[in-house]
Amino acid sequence: MIAVIQRVSSASVEISGQRVATIGRGFLVLLGVGNEDGEEDVQWLAQKVANLRVFSDAQGQMNLGIQEVQGDIIVVSQFTLHASTKKGNRPSFIQAAKPPVAIPLYEAFVAKLEEFTQKKVQTGEFGADMQVALVNDGPVTIIIDSKNKQ
């Protein structure tokens, strides 16, 4: 499971011209579910995101988490995070999980984030053509791969 976490001052998701999610300060999380992912990945990654300390404290140090700043979260599914570009110029997505596997894990990730943060997490719509807008604060962008726990 791969997550691209962007610290935002605002973010929104639109589907077919209709806004389905909008937040102020918080995280926009792009989530890619892979073929080899399971419940252990969900648990580990959701806990990492929920406890990530990338908001500035009074001294300007990245020392505060999402709960401490009362931030919000949007999670957007993005299978393209599992793109392989080893051969040629057209990416291969064979490492991305198909919807019957990916959707339950995506939903479990959102539920775990809600459990860990004690706050409703907004989402896009799995598999939809979404327009995602954001103002990256910093910019701060963190990439976490549950298969690379370094």
Q: Using CA atoms in the order 30, 23, 72, 35, what is the torsion angle rounded to 10 degrees?
A: -20
Pick the CATH number of 2-145 from 3.40.50.1000, 3.40.50.970, 1.10.150.120, 3.50.80.10: 3.50.80.10
From the list 27, 55, 79, 116, the catalytic residue is 79
Give the pLDDT of the chain (150 residues) as one tens digit per residue.
999 999 999 999 999 999 999 999 999 999 999 999 999 999 999 999 999 999 999 999 999 999 999 999 999 999 999 999 888 899 999 999 999 999 999 999 999 999 999 999 999 999 999 999 999 999 999 999 999 887
95 phi and psi angles, rounded to 5 deg: -80, -10
The reported pLDDT for the residue numbered 59 is 95
Q: Say whether 79 is catalytic.
A: yes
Q: Quick count: other Cβ atoms within 10 Å of Cβ 6?
A: 22
Q: Say whether 78 is catalytic.
A: yes
Would you give the distance in Å from CA 80 to the centre of its chain?
A: 13
From the list 78, 117, 122, 123, the catalytic residue is 78
Beta bridge partners of 21: 13
Is 25 in contact with 69 (CB distance < 8 Å)?
yes
From the list 61, 70, 80, 131, the catalytic residue is 80
Model confidence, pTM = 0.95
Q: Say whether 131 is catalytic.
A: no
